[in-house]
Copies of this chain bind each other. A is one copy, B any other.
Amino acid sequence: MPKVVDRQNRRRSVAEAIHRIAARGGLEEVSVRMVATEAGLSVGAVQRAFPTKNDLLRFALDTSVDEVAARFSRIRIGPELLTFAEGLRAVLVDLLPTDERRRAQIRIWAAYYARAAVDPEFAKVLADLDTRSRANLTAALTYARDQGELTSGQDIDALVELLMVIIDGLWLTCARLPEGTDLSGPRAAIDAAVALVSAR
């Protein structure tokens, strides 16, 4: 009977507006009014899509997590696919702010992590992503060990933890690089990490 809007699309476009704002000035600059303007909507329209601001941020976080998870899962190692070393390098290189979208995402993630440090609800979302990442890394490392691609004498679980640390550290290190800085530093770190973990 009544007018009906595509709620899902509405929410998606609002989430993108949030990310554009957050990429410019951090999560602190994200206000309902700003989001509405950025998305070309009225405040009321945004309010109907997301009753509270917390819903707004939660959805934006979920969206971002999904995007990163999807990017990761596209990189597959295995027979006739990538070797472990190639896959690890691909995952790490994919984190680098090589384009504007990635640069924006890194800024946003820095904000999310800061919030997760004091907001259990946000922490839980990231913890879930961690669980998935850990599982993926464990599988990859097990495969690598079976293929003899791994530096011997290392505990796989410990290596997984180290790789988690390196992944987080890599994008965080990039987060505070001034725009336009060349990425040779982070690239060297990736080289060193791959070299140390892979069999010589």
Tell me whether A176 and B123 are in contact (CB under 8 A): yes
Which residues of the other chain, B, contact A161 by a CB distance below 8 angstroms? 185-186, 188-189, 192
A132 contacts the other chain (Cβ, under 8 Å)? no
Instruction: Provide the A168-200 mask, 1 if CB < 8 A to any CB of B, else 0.
Output: 111011011010000001101101110111001
Copies of this chain per assembly: 2
Pick 13 A–B contacts, CB within 8 A, sort by A: A107-B117, A110-B117, A113-B175, A113-B176, A116-B175, A127-B176, A155-B188, A158-B189, A162-B189, A165-B170, A165-B189, A165-B193, A169-B169
Tell me whether A118 and B173 are in contact (CB under 8 A): no
Please classify the interface of chain A as helix (H, G, I), strand (E, B), loop, or mixed, using the class held by over half of its residues. helix
Counting chain A residues whose Cβ lies within 8 A of the other chain, the interface size class is 35 or more
4 closest Cβ pairs, A-B complex:
A169-B169, A165-B169, A161-B189, A114-B114
Complex CA gap A123/B178 in Å reads: 8
Tell me whether B116 and A200 are in contact (CB under 8 A): no
Which residues of the other chain, B, contact A116 by a CB distance below 8 angstroms? 110, 175-176
A44 contacts the other chain (Cβ, under 8 Å)? no
Instruction: Provide the A101-138 mask, 1 if CB < 8 A to any CB of B, else 0.
Output: 00000110011011111111001001100000000000
Complex interface residues of chain A between 23 and 69 (CB less than 8 A to chain B): 24-28
